[in-house]
Structure 1
Amino acid sequence: MSREGAEYALRARADERDRISGHLLDLESHTTYQVLKGAPLRGLTQRRWMAGQAALTALWTLYDAYRGVLRDAEQIRASRGRLGSDQLAALTELLAGRSVVLKAAVKPVEQRSLLPEVDERLTLDEAVTRMDASFQEVTDALADIDAVWSAALPRLDAADALLREVTTLRRELDAPDGAVQAHTAPADTARADTARADTASAGTAPAGVAEELGRMRAAVLEDPLGSPPAPHDLDRIDRLLAGHRADLGEALRARREYGRRREDLAAALDRVRAAESESRLAHGAVVVKIALPPRAAPTSRVDALRDELAALDASADDWLVRARRLTSLEQAARQAEEQARATAAAMYGLVGRRDELRGRLGACQAMAVRRGTAEAPEAIRLHERARLLLWTAPCDLTKAAEAVDLYQRAIHGGGR
């Protein structure tokens, strides 16, 4: 090796040493590496990390020997301003020869031989290649473990946060609240207290979720490579807790708003009663004019709805069940009012239909007079039949409409 070549090689090796040192420092400061150093690992992860630690120990041993060679080379270079032939030969041997010595490891007695153990000698390039292989083994293990932790731990943290939220909602739901007693008879107070006590059944976190999350977290921390949580299990827990949170929220809203919603429901039932009364009046006014089938008589739902409301006031159901019953009652009240008003409108509409048929019959007769067909015997017969049906009370609208249609076709010569 020439003097210039030796100078260049030494500078390059010094840069290489600094780069390797930086990588090793970065490795030891890596978050996952720091966690693994004190983690109680087991299973596949323990075996993989033990192999990684052995590789890292070998790496450091080799790095120390590698660094010692470079230190000796730097001392030789610093000993003289201009290298002599002896110094150049020694420097060349260190930089290009098998100068990195790995001492033979002391083996357990049962593995020893009486023959001398042979130290291993490597060139600097061979030492770097072997160090890189050890480094890759360690970083590959870190990357695989970190990938599982990065995927699973945030989801477990989110599930734990959701579980805490469910627990908080449950405590809030279990707290005493007098909203229901404002509308509960004194005799039913004990049942209302029972309803609040039974709220725990609606607010209890799904059985075993906390324990399951704890087992998942322990498994992913202790053996992420061998026992990672299945994504479908995490999805199932997320759905379960989210659904429970929604149920608890609905139950809480029902408890907070029960008094107001009950008053609104009572007012809605008053509107139902008024609408049903209007429907009965309409039926009474129309049935004397229009022939109606028995099933057309309006039916009332308001009393049944009031009984359901009274039963809800005295209910011992948990708040989630009561919330759903209250919502169902509100919907039923709206539907009953809409149906009663629609029935009244339909009743009055039948009288309008009769009057429309009367006007149509008169228009047809006037047209027959202009055409000179009004005096035809068949026209006279059909007109008389239609007139009789339309001016008879109660009027059969179906037959009257058919009669008007027959008369109209007759005066048009059988067409429309």
Structure 2
Amino acid sequence: MSREGVEHALRARADERDRISGDLLDLESHTTYRLLKGATLRGATEQRWATAQESLARLWRLNDAYRAVLRDAEQIKAARSRLSTEQLAELTELLAGTSVLLRAAAKPVEQRSLLPEADERLTLDATVTQMDAAFRDVTSALNDIDAQWNTLLPRLDTAGAELRRIRELEQDLGESAAGLDTLETELKRMRAAVVEDPLGAAVEPDLDRVARLLTASLAELELAVVVKQDYARRRENLEAALDRVRAAESEARLAHGAVVVKIALPPQAQPRSRVDALTGALDALDVSADTWVLRAKRLAELESDADGAAEQAQTTAKALYGLVSRRDELRGRLGACQVMAVRRGMAEDPAATGLFARARALLWSAPCDLTKAAAAVEDYQRAIHGGTS
């Protein structure tokens, strides 16, 4: 190499050494790396990290040998302002030849043979390439472990926070959530598995299940606390809702009484009251010894049942009055058909007249059979229109 080539190569190698040193410092300060250095690992993670540590040990040995060569080259360059031919040759060998000596590493006795271990000689470029490969082995292991921790530990933290909140709500209510001790034990087991063996811990299905159960339990207890605090007001509102049910059922009974004399109704059309059963359920809830979680569920059911009973009674009354409207609509259709019959000269037709008389008798009888009356009106209409309705 020329003097200019040597100087250029030394500057480039110095920059390279500084960059590598910075990367190694970043590696040592990496949070996951620092955690793993003192961690108790097992399973797949222990094996993966052991392999990564072998790569790391080789990386440091390569780096020490690499830096030693550069240090020798810099000392030769600094010794004289103008390099001799011999010095240029020596520097060329250091910078471009197989100048990096990597001593054979001592192995555990179970991995040794009786033959001597051979040292390695590498160029600076080959040394950097091997350092890069070892560095990538270590960072790959770090990334894989870190990815698992970053995925699973926050979820475990969230589940743990929900568990602590549930314990607080249990104290507020003076009640215990079913199965919580089992879930707490499972969480501890999963956390230990994730911390010690993130690569081999197949905890996600169990974590999904435990998280769902904790979330559901927390929601139940939060609702129970609200119900306990607000029970008096909600009970008062429920009493008002039951009054609305009574009023709606009374209207349905009145409608049935008014309609049954006009329209023939089946026995099942008789309105049935639900208010007594709902009132009894509310009274039973007042003296219940159930937990507030169960009482909260039952109170919500009663509120829904009361609203449904009132709506059902209102619908029944409307339907009953609608039967009278249906009868009146059929009467109107029959009258319109009679006018049409006169226009078509069928007013004296014996068949049409008979059908009209039958339909009129059904519609003006009390109680009226709507099904038969509707069929009779259809028959009369078809007769007037020549067999088509």
- TM-score range relative to shorter protein: 0.7 to 0.9
1:217 aligns with 2:191: yes
Which of 243, 259, 267 is equivalent to 1:294? 267
Question: By how many angstroms is 1:84 displaced?
Answer: 2.2
1:179 alignment partner in structure 2: none
Residues 79-127 of structure 1, C-alpha deviations (whole Å, 9 max, x = no match)? 22211234334433433444434456667899697x9987655443443
Is the contact made by 2:263 and 2:367 (CA closer than 8 Å) also made in structure 1?
yes
In the other structure, the counterpart of 2:225 is 252
1:128 Cα shift?
Answer: 3.1
> Structure 2 counterpart of 1:346, which letter?
A
**Contact preservation (8 Å) 1:76, 1:91:** yes
Quick one: distance in 2 between partners of 1:130 and 1:389?
Answer: 105
Deviates more, 1:337-346 or 1:394-403: 394-403
The alpha-carbon distance between structure 1 residues 243 and 82, as it changes in their structure 2 partners (threshold 3 A), is same
DSSP-derived class of the 1:154 partner? helix
Q: Is the 8 A contact 1:148 1:228 kept in 2?
A: no
Corresponding residue SS for 1:9: helix
Partner of 1:314 in structure 2?
A: 287
Distance 1:112 1:267, change over 3 A: closer
Q: Residue 282 of structure 1 aligns with which residue?
A: 255
TM-score, normalization by structure 1: 0.80
- The verdict on how the C-alpha distance between 1:364 and 1:142 changes in structure 2, with shifts beyond 3 A counting, is closer
For residue 167 of structure 1, report the CA deviation from its aligned partner: 3.1
* Distance in 1, Cα, partners of 2:108 & 2:346: 131
SS in 2 for 1:317: coil
d(CA) in 2 for partners of 1:397, 1:331: 35
Instruction: Give the corresponding residue for 2:297.
Output: 324
1:148, distance to aligned residue in structure 2 (A): 2.3
Whether contact under 8 Å (1:205, 1:244) holds in the other structure is no
TM-score (norm 2): 0.85
Task: Give, in whole Å, the separation in 2 of the partners of 1:288 and 1:338.
Answer: 25
The aligned counterpart of 2:31 is 31
- Counterparts of 2:99 and 2:344, CA distance in 1: 131
Unpaired segments ≥5 residues, structure 1? 175-198
Task: Name the residue aligned to 1:46.
Answer: 46
> In structure 2, what residue type is equivalent to 1:315?
S
Matched with 1:238 is 211
Q: Distance in 2 between matches of 1:47 and 1:369?
A: 103
Q: Secondary structure in 2 aligned to 1:208?
A: helix
Aligned residues of 2:190 and 2:203 also touching (Cα < 8 A): no
| Residues 272, 340 of structure 1: 8 Å contact kept | yes
**Are 2:239 and 1:266 equivalent residues in the alignment?**
yes
Q: How does 1:348-367 map to 2 (within 5 A)?
A: 348-367=321-340
Contact 1:206 1:240 in 2 (8 A): no
SS of 1:392's partner is coil
Deviation at residue 265 of structure 1 after TM alignment = 1.7
Alignment of structure 1 residues 330-349 onto 2, 5 Å: 330-349=303-322
**Structure 2 unaligned spans of 5+:** none
Cα distance, 1:271 vs structure 2: 1.5
Residue 113 of structure 2 is aligned to residue 139 of structure 1: no
Q: How many residues align?
A: 388
1:3-22 matches, cutoff 5 A = 3-22=3-22
Structure 1 residue 170 displacement after superposition: 3.3
